[in-house]
Structure 1
Amino acid sequence: MTNCIYRHQTGQGKDLVFLHGWGVNSGVWQGINQVLQQDYRIHTIDLPGFGLSHQCLPDEYNLQKISTLVEPHIPAGAILIGWSLGGLVANQIALNNQVQLAGLINIASSPKFVSDKNWQGINFKVLQMFSEQLQEDFAKTLERFLAIQAMGSQSARQDIKALNAAVAQYPSPNVNALIGGLQILEYTDLRQQLNTIEIPVLNCFGRLDSLVPAKTQPAITECYTNSQVVTFEKASHAPFISHPEDFIKAIKGFVDQIH
């Protein structure tokens, strides 16, 4: 089953492994990786059911099973980088402790995406609405979700266009993966486990992010015992799209510091 996971490798140097978010694929990293591959060996992975892994599905689409599928494709000593849903997968892999990681970078990700009375995040009903709409027209639903990810960014229109263009190069995601991915976002809560992650962690946030609100960002960073944070003041949910130069600088600073 693990052989059906698609991984692309380019460049030479320290290993950086990128995991994308919900509804998209590894194409989202193209812009920044053209720069990063000059100094590092870059691995981009399509999560099960997405991109060129669209036919690769576990018998049950949950966080543990998709993390187990991805683990064999991560080189020992790599820095694992996850965006949004990919951040949950990256953290679960770090918690599994089956792969020797040098560091972990979370991009606009949260150990608990859904809000409650003590935690700000996405309204549970919004995710349920997306689940229902997927059954009717998943192309339009994906388009709406990508638009939400760029909300607040000064370059929102360009960001949405860039995300759509990157995603369109790959096969459409499997509907079961879309539904399963939303359920992971709806029900996962890793907050109480994250203090067992001992490797260095960098949390990258956009101050204007509506999916991982600014008020929640300090609490997320406090969940880790060895963490740093960088906040992109004018970015939303995809700082690597809207502010690639600043994002690359932050990544390089962290990677070169821990190696």
Structure 2
Amino acid sequence: MKHFLKLTGISILSYLIIVIVVTARDGVFSVVGKPFHLVHGNVATVWGGVVYTVWGILLAVLTVWLVKRWVPFRIRFTLRDDVRWVALIPLVLAYGWVLFDQIVETFKSVGHESLSRNFGHLLNGILPGTFEEILIRGGLLAIVLYALHASGTRALKAAVISSLVFGSLHFINLTGGQSLEATIQQVIYAFIIGLSFAALYYRTGSIWPGIVLHILTDFTGDYGGSTAAMIPWHELAMYFGPLLLISLFMLRPSQDAYNVRGLIR
């Protein structure tokens, strides 16, 4: 019971910290943006988008650096020496299946939009892809792993907890007018994506592959609009079911020692 309360406390505190960081990121930019002509109306200019992206990434790095002063966890950027590349193929294929329609739509749309618009879509992938991976996989996942140092299923538990926080953060989209059902779907598939990114981080030993895939996800998804569209539930299961099963298989307890190697001091 004590262990459960500890993990619950870590999850809630991490959630609140991330919400505060996101609020600070957006709030500071909104205050600074207009006087420096980085925002036109409610839309960031091209240079405004660049400044907003750089500011968000720096804030995420600063947050993790501050937390590391109290919790001795590690963020890895270099690939581990014993990556089992063949074992990653099912995960990559399943993720490609998830993104297939988005990628096709992006190829159809990219040639019909201006260079500045395409650059804006790219920035809309780079910021969340880097910001969220640094905070969630680089920070929260590592903190939970550290807290679970005595557990034989720490890789799976840390992946589930960090992915639950990652998924639940998408409830904030309700404030932008997104429907409840579409938001619930977004929370569910964000949780599944979070599991896959955690598995990818474990198996490669580097946060970069997850950052690249996350950027690709948000970049291609941005061509479909800023609001997540509601899809039939059977299609959600069809697209994300394989990714969920493969991710859980890679996170199975028998692979715990291999998954966390190099991530825990």
TM-score normalized by the length of structure 1: 0.28
Relative contact order (C-alpha < 8 Å, sep 6+): which is higher?
Answer: 2
TM-score normalized by the length of structure 2: 0.27
Higher strand share: 1
Higher helix share: 2
Larger C-alpha radius of gyration, 1 or 2?
2
